[in-house]
């Protein structure tokens, strides 16, 4: 059994000093090597033993799309105008930052010009982290093809490899052609991806990527899809969401079977991994790199961000897919409810009874209206 400090390097999840101690030490890095400790498994059993996974595989085959021809890349994008329109949307929904919360902070005297530039940088940063996360998913899904022992799962995972390649393609192209380039990977996200790739257990790859990283991405894409007024990005996100819902469902359907066979000690290890992943993903949304670029020391602004209720609500909403999926897998209440207590501690347990992705993934098909990000 590990303590919170042993898992995430600090006893207090809101310890700003500890959060900021994790930084990118090589911003010019082009290649990043991670040791992959897993065995590649062949299976000679080609029977169709898991009909739910076969159904998912059939949906994946018919859900393929071409990033080059299916998206309107000739759409002009005026980032400044889009950010202003998005801010108007946020104000209308009551989701805008309240300047009152920044009194006494380094940004208390910022005007419209500074906040506009910040929001433009924030958009580029957010899409950049999506890009890096999609490459992590590309590598992890290729690993699942190698390591999962089930024939049906290997077939489905092979379709996800192609999906993830498409996602890397579209986010990179949007950033380079429509915005002003991308940010380096956030240090917290990189540590999480390193841990997922490094672990030798195939179900940990599923848990880390399919449930945690992809689950948060699905919620984030849904929120951005609802908020953006930019037609190319809106359509791009809609296509990506149609894939992501299948990917998360793949994790739920696969892990439910294997977790039902695990001991309490084994499940506790998975709970701890899920909590560590949740905290690392939460920490990356503090956008340290954006504040640095704006000339603001993250250490001086982050305490204000942690106290902003609007930002806290948005951050909590990003876990609206993760928590019900963890409950579906039996992880919330296994091992005396350890993960339930941790999710309560970070303020996201209220999503436990929302619909899990194993049940709702069909609603994300391209022939359907995109579900609202808060649908239950």
Please give the distance of CA 276 from its chain centroid, rounded to a whole number. 14
pLDDT band (50, 70, 90) for residue 8? confident
Query: By residue range, what is the domain housing residue 120?
Result: 51-62+78-364
Is residue 193 a part of any domain in this protein? yes
Among candidate residues 253, 267, 261, the one with its CA nearest the CA of residue 328: 253
CATH code, domain carrying 208: 1.20.1260
Alpha-carbon span 287 to 285, nearest angstrom: 5
Is residue 374 a part of any domain in this protein? no
Is residue 94 a part of any domain in this protein? yes
The predicted pLDDT at position 7 comes to: 85
Is residue 270 a part of any domain in this protein? yes
pLDDT digits (tens, 9 = 90+) for 289-340: 999 999 999 999 988 888 887 777 778 888 999 999 999 999 999 988 999 9
Query: What percentage of the chain has pLDDT greater than the value 70?
Result: 96
Look at the chain and report how many structural domains it folds into. 1
pLDDT digits (tens, 9 = 90+) for 122-138: 999 999 999 999 999 99
3-class SS of residue 248: helix
Is residue 337 a part of any domain in this protein? yes
pLDDT band (50, 70, 90) for residue 373? low
Q: pTM of the predicted model, to two decimals?
A: 0.93
Per the CB < 8 A criterion, the answer to whether 184 and 27 are in contact is: yes
18: CB partners within 8 A, 6+ apart: 9, 10, 12
Alpha-carbon span 143 to 311, nearest angstrom: 35
268: CB partners within 8 A, 6+ apart: 1, 334, 335, 338
Is residue 224 a part of any domain in this protein? yes
Among candidate residues 233, 219, 183, 220, the one with its CA nearest the CA of residue 81: 233
Q: What is the DSSP letter of 39?
A: P
Is residue 260 a part of any domain in this protein? yes
Per the CB < 8 A criterion, the answer to whether 326 and 211 are in contact is: yes
Is residue 290 a part of any domain in this protein? yes
Q: What angle do CA 288, 208, 219 make, to 5 degrees?
A: 65
Q: What is the DSSP letter of 40?
A: P
pLDDT band (50, 70, 90) for residue 375? very low
């Amino acid at each position: 059994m590990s303590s919170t400090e042993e898992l995430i390097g600090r006893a207090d999840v809101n310890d700003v000093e500890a959060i900021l101690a994790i930084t990118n030490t090589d911003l010019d890095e082009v290649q990043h090597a991670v040791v992959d400790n897993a065995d590649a498994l062949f299976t000679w059993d080609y029977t169709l033993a898991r009909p739910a996974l076969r159904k998912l595989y059939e949906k994946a085959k018919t859900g393929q799309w071409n990033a080059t021809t299916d998206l309107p890349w000739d759409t002009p994008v005026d980032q400044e105008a889009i950010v202003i329109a998005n801010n108007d949307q946020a104000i209308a929904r009551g989701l805008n930052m309240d300047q009152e919360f920044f009194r006494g902070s380094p940004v208390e005297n910022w005007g419209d010009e500074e906040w506009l530039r910040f929001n433009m940088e924030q958009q580029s940063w957010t899409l950049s982290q999506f890009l890096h996360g999609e490459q992590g998913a590309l590598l992890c899904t290729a690993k699942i093809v190698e390591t999962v022992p089930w024939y049906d799962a290997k077939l489905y995972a092979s379709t996800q490899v192609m999906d993830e390649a498409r996602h890397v393609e579209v986010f990179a192209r949007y950033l380079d052609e429509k915005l002003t380039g991308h940010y380096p990977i956030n240090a917290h996200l990189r540590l999480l991806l390193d841990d997922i790739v490094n672990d030798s257990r195939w179900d940990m790859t599923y848990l880390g990527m399919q449930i945690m990283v992809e689950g948060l991405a699905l919620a984030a894409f849904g929120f951005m899809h609802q908020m953006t007024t930019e037609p190319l990005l809106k359509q791009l996100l809609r296509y990506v969401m149609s894939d992501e819902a299948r990917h998360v469902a793949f994790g739920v359907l696969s892990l439910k079977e294997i977790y039902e066979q695990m001991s309490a000690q084994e499940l506790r290890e998975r709970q701890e991994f899920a909590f560590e992943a949740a905290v690392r993903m939460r920490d990356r949304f503090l956008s340290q790199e954006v504040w640095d670029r704006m000339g603001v020391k993250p250490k001086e602004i982050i305490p204000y961000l942690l106290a902003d209720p609007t930002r806290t609500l948005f951050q909590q909403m990003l876990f609206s897919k993760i928590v019900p999926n963890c409950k579906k897998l039996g992880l919330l209440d296994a091992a005396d409810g350890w993960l339930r207590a941790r999710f309560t501690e970070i303020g996201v347990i209220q999503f436990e009874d929302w619909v899990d992705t194993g049940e709702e993934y069909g609603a994300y098909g391209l022939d359907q209206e995109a579900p609202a990000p808060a649908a239950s």
